[in-house]
Amino acid sequence: MATLEGTGRLSGVRPGLLDRERIIATAGFNRWLVPPAALCIHLCIGMAYGFSVFWLPLSRAVGLSAPKVCGDMTIIQELFTTTCDWRVASMGWMYTLFFVLLGASAAIWGGWLERVGPRKAGFVSAVCWSGGLVLGAIGIYTHQLWLLWLGSGVIGGIGLGLGYISPVSTLVKWFPDRRGMATGMAIMGFGGGAMIGAPLANMLMNYFKTPTDVGVWQTFLVMGLIYFVFMTIGAFAYRITPPNWRP
């Protein structure tokens, strides 16, 4: 007969695919398999540092050869205009959204991550980060700056926060004897994301660019798909330490 465990889950019931109980490492698991999983996520969300490659093409998305300026628009008017190009300074607010939401989501859902495990948190991060890019692509296609802010900035920023803390939390538990190295590996991936993502974005924009389109919304879609695949691989490759485990 099934009994209630401390987790509130019925014993004897097979845990779900994303559940914490599903990813407890078995005896003999090699902890060095965890850093590549963490890098899969951090190299993707690290593209937040490389978003500036989009600002120049987007600043002439309407004018194409040169920005189409419509006088002294307020930021509110700029959020909804479909006939004027966006100012680089207005798009730069994305960085503020990214890193405010990174800290806020890490603080708000940090406890939830510890309860549900890094696989579920990593997968939710993949959905938010990649889904934000898709919504951002719709915003670029319809030339609605508010949609770009909401998609890539807010929703993507939440994914950024969850994707940032899940690898760090997992690596520190696997490497209590090398905490500095474990944290460094995670930060290396986050900082290196732009080094890979920015050249990829430039390559894709050049591929999709036409005389009537700067090729940015297509690039958002393709990168969203690529990042979703790699972040999901990373999330599903996570394993957590069994009780009383020591290196």
Domains of the chain and any CATH numbers: 38-64+71-237 (1.20.1250.20)
The span from the CA of 215 to the CA of 200, in Å, is: 13
The span from the CA of 48 to the CA of 71, in Å, is: 30
In this prediction, residue 228 carries a pLDDT of 98
Q: What is the pLDDT of residues 177-219, one digit of tens each?
A: 888 888 888 788 888 899 999 999 999 999 999 999 999 999 9
In this prediction, residue 187 carries a pLDDT of 81
- DSSP, collapsed to helix, strand or coil, labels residue 6 as coil
Give me the mean pLDDT over the 103-112 stretch.
Answer: 92
Task: Give phi and psi for 207, each to the nearest 5.
Answer: -70, -45
The span from the CA of 65 to the CA of 87, in Å, is: 15
220 has pLDDT over 80:
yes
12 has pLDDT over 70:
no
149 has pLDDT over 90:
yes
The span from the CA of 229 to the CA of 43, in Å, is: 12
Confidence of residue 13 (pLDDT cuts 50, 70, 90): low
In this prediction, residue 246 carries a pLDDT of 86
116 has pLDDT over 90:
yes
Half-sphere exposure of 102 (CA within 13 A, CB side): 17
